[in-house]
A and B are shown apart, each in its own frame.
Chain A
Amino acid sequence: MRTSIMAGVAAGTLLAAGAAAPAFAVEDGKADLSVLHGIPGLTVDVYVNGALTLDDFAPGDLAGPLSLDPGTYSVALTASDAADDSAPVLGPIDLPLAEGMSYTAVAHLMANGDPTATLFTNDISETASGEGRLTVRHTAAAPAVDVWADGAVAFSSLENPNEMMADLPAATYEAAVSLAGETDPVLGPADVPVEEGSNTIVYAWGSAADGNLALAVQSVATHTGMPAEVSAGTQGLAADGDAVPVGVIVLGAAALAAAGLATRAVLVRR
Chain B
Amino acid sequence: MAASPLKTALSQSAKPIHPVWVRLCHWLNALAAILMVLSGWRIYDASPVFKGFVIPPAITLGGWLGGALQWHFAAMWLLFFNGLIYLGLNLATGRLFRKFFPLSPRAVWRDLRLALIGKLHHDDLSHYNALQKIAYLTVIIDLVVLVLSGLAIWKSVQFPLLRELMGGYDNARIVHFCAMALLVGFFVVHVVMVALVPRSLLTMIRGR
A and B part of one assembly: no
Question: Interface of A with B (CB < 8 Å)?
Answer: none
Question: Interface of B with A (CB < 8 Å)?
Answer: none
